[in-house]
Amino acid sequence: MFKINDNYLKLPGSYLFSTIGKKVNAYAAQNPDKKIIRLGIGDVTQPLAPAIIKALHGAVDEMAQAETFKGYAPDLGYEFLRKAIADNDYKARGCEIAADEIFVSDGAKCDAGNIQEIFSGDNKIAVCDPVYPVYVDTNVMAGRTGVYDSAKEVWSDVIYMPCVAENHFAPELPKEAPDLIYLCFPNNPTGSTITKSQLQEWVDYANKVGAVIIYDAAYEAYISEEDVPHTIYECEGARSCAIELRSFSKNAGFTGVRLGFTVIPKDLKCGEVTLHSLWARRHGTKYNGAPYIVQRAGEAVYSEDGKAQLKQQVAYYMNNAKYILEGLKSAGYTVSGGVNAPYIWLKAPNGMTSWEFFDYLLEKANVVGTPGSGFGPSGETYFRLTAFGSYENTVEAVDRIKAL
Ligand code: MLT
């Protein structure tokens, strides 16, 4: 008789956004007359920019002709895209990352989940608390997290780094040395950031203790303040300790198109073995490359037109963020984030738990957000709203909340 990977059975409940989806659908079915505004999952709402649509059309036409048709993509990504990424995201910022250190994929979520495969099963992970659930859940599936304490909502073999108001939602170096450190800045879910010198401390620490930082920079395009690093490779020594995950979902609206990439510098080694070689082996074995059409669309993100149009798109969402931030502040809420990230992190009022506030907002204002506790125990009593809605819906949602 076959056996299952029973690590899956250790996972409590369903994936956070599936749980929310089910709750909202049930409410909508019972209340068909209500206009529900969804500011829960961080999914974009603006259409793809014209430069991207043009590139998609052009690539589709190429696929229609025998002379320009493309079959399997190179498994690590087309050179034209890897070069555009290296030039624009790294070289232009003074960072030394070569095109062949970039692995193109169908999105940062898959990479964030899969990257743990190249590490030993007994490596210890450290995560921010609250945290994007993918980092922890995929390590649970791999059997790396020990026993779950359902009362405290923590795993015995995970190092949690609380990110709370007292430390400005920035993790402190852990007392116990981890092997893998997951960091995400600008942060999901709190919308906070750290400065370049704070990130440098993490890089120095990782190099000192022999840990790898898995740095998720999916929200990089939303950085508006000076001194906030756009990539971990702005820090000295990051080439020997950091992997960076990047996405086209939030900067270019590719949540339904699917494109991302992972950077693994060749200096990142365990003894003589480069992590680059392991990830290349894994990619080659398990993946046939992101579609040509989509990689051409990705290339258009770096065109002059693409850059200008996407700057406007990001500004559109950040205008929503400002509206939420200012609106809720004026209504007496304690709010943060929303300046370098499209997420606003607020304290549930009147001592409510995160889920109590979720139900309250859904029922009384027909507004959907994400309960902070879904991201980890230190998220309890907090709540996340996204700026990715339309401006009209954002205004209406905030006005409804203010009227409560
Ligand atoms: C979120 O809402 O946290 C994001 O949509 C997650 C993701 O990008 O997968």
Q: What pLDDT sits at residue 43?
A: 94
Q: What pLDDT sits at residue 12?
A: 87
CATH number at residue 376: 3.90.1150.10
**Do 60 and 141 fall into the same domain?**
yes
Number of DSSP helices (H) and strands (E) in the chain, helices first = 12, 17
CB of 41 shorter than 6 A to ligand 1: yes
CB of 384 shorter than 6 A to ligand 1: no
- Within-domain flag for 261: yes
Q: What is the mean pLDDT of the chain?
A: 97
Is 282 flagged in the annotation as binding? no
Range of the domain at 166: 53-303
Of 15 and 2, the one with more pLDDT: 2
Alpha-carbon distance 72 to 76, whole Å? Answer: 11
Q: What pLDDT sits at residue 85?
A: 98
Q: Which of 16, 17, 368 to mutate to test the pocket of ligand 1 (most atoms within 8 A of CB)?
A: 17
ipTM for the assembly: 0.93
CB of 42 shorter than 6 A to ligand 1: yes
Q: Which atom of ligand 1 is nearest to the CA of 109?
A: 9
Nearest Cα residue to atom 3 of ligand 1? 42
**Do 39 and 84 fall into the same domain?**
no
**Do 64 and 157 fall into the same domain?**
yes
Tens digit of pLDDT for each residue in 256-272? 999 999 999 999 999 99
Q: Average pLDDT in the 377-404 region?
A: 97
Tens digit of pLDDT for each residue in 150-168? 999 999 999 999 999 999 9
Q: Which of 303, 337, 361 is the last residue of a domain?
A: 303
CB of 109 shorter than 6 A to ligand 1: yes
Q: What pLDDT sits at residue 16?
A: 87
Nearest Cα residue to atom 9 of ligand 1? 109
Tens digit of pLDDT for each residue in 287-340? 999 999 999 999 999 999 999 999 999 999 999 999 999 999 999 999 999 999
- Within-domain flag for 273: yes
Question: And the tokens for 151?
Answer: 């009362």
Q: Is beta strand 382-386 parallel, antiparallel or unpaired with respect to 343-347?
A: antiparallel
Between the CA of 357 and the centroid of ligand 1 the distance, in Å, is: 20
Q: What pLDDT sits at residue 394?
A: 98
> For the chain, what is the domain count?
2
Of 214, 191, 209, the C-alpha closest to 139 is 214
Of 102, 19, 141, the C-alpha closest to 283 is 102
Between the CA of 280 and the centroid of ligand 1 the distance, in Å, is: 26
- Within-domain flag for 82: yes
Q: Which of 303, 330, 358 is the last residue of a domain?
A: 303
**Do 92 and 176 fall into the same domain?**
yes
Is 288 flagged in the annotation as binding? yes
**Do 342 and 240 fall into the same domain?**
no
**Do 193 and 243 fall into the same domain?**
yes
CATH number at residue 153: 3.40.640.10
Is 384 flagged in the annotation as binding? yes
**Do 199 and 68 fall into the same domain?**
yes
CB of 186 shorter than 6 A to ligand 1: no
Q: What pLDDT sits at residue 309?
A: 98
CB of 247 shorter than 6 A to ligand 1: no
Tens digit of pLDDT for each residue in 55-104? 999 999 999 999 999 999 998 999 999 999 999 999 999 999 999 999 99
Question: And the tokens for 46?
Answer: 């603006």
**Do 135 and 247 fall into the same domain?**
yes
- Within-domain flag for 4: no
- Within-domain flag for 6: no
In Å, how far from its chain's centre is CA 105?
15
Over 90: is that where the pLDDT of 13 sits?
no
**Do 379 and 259 fall into the same domain?**
no
Over 90: is that where the pLDDT of 15 sits?
no
**Do 40 and 102 fall into the same domain?**
no
DSSP string, 286-312: H---S-HHHHHHHHHHTSHHHHHHHHH
Q: Which of 18, 24, 43, 254 to mutate to test the pocket of ligand 1 (most atoms within 8 A of CB)?
A: 43
Q: Which atom of ligand 1 is nearest to the CA of 188?
A: 3
SS3 state at 190: coil
Hey, which residues does 155 pair with through a beta bridge?
148
**Do 182 and 317 fall into the same domain?**
no
Tens digit of pLDDT for each residue in 112-150? 999 999 999 999 999 999 999 999 999 999 999 999 999
Nearest Cα residue to atom 5 of ligand 1? 42
Of 113, 126, 59, the C-alpha closest to 260 is 113
**Res. 375 pLDDT band, cuts 50 70 90:** very high
- Within-domain flag for 204: yes
Q: How many CB atoms lie within 10 A of CB 390?
A: 14
Q: What pLDDT sits at residue 399?
A: 97
Q: What pLDDT sits at residue 188?
A: 98
**Do 231 and 274 fall into the same domain?**
yes
Q: Which of 131, 132, 251 to mutate to test the pocket of ligand 1 (most atoms within 8 A of CB)?
A: 132
Of 321, 365, 359, the C-alpha closest to 340 is 321
Nearest Cα residue to atom 6 of ligand 1? 42
- Within-domain flag for 2: no
Q: Which of 303, 336, 355 is the last residue of a domain?
A: 303
- Within-domain flag for 267: yes
Tens digit of pLDDT for each residue in 214-253? 999 999 999 999 999 999 999 999 999 999 999 999 999 9
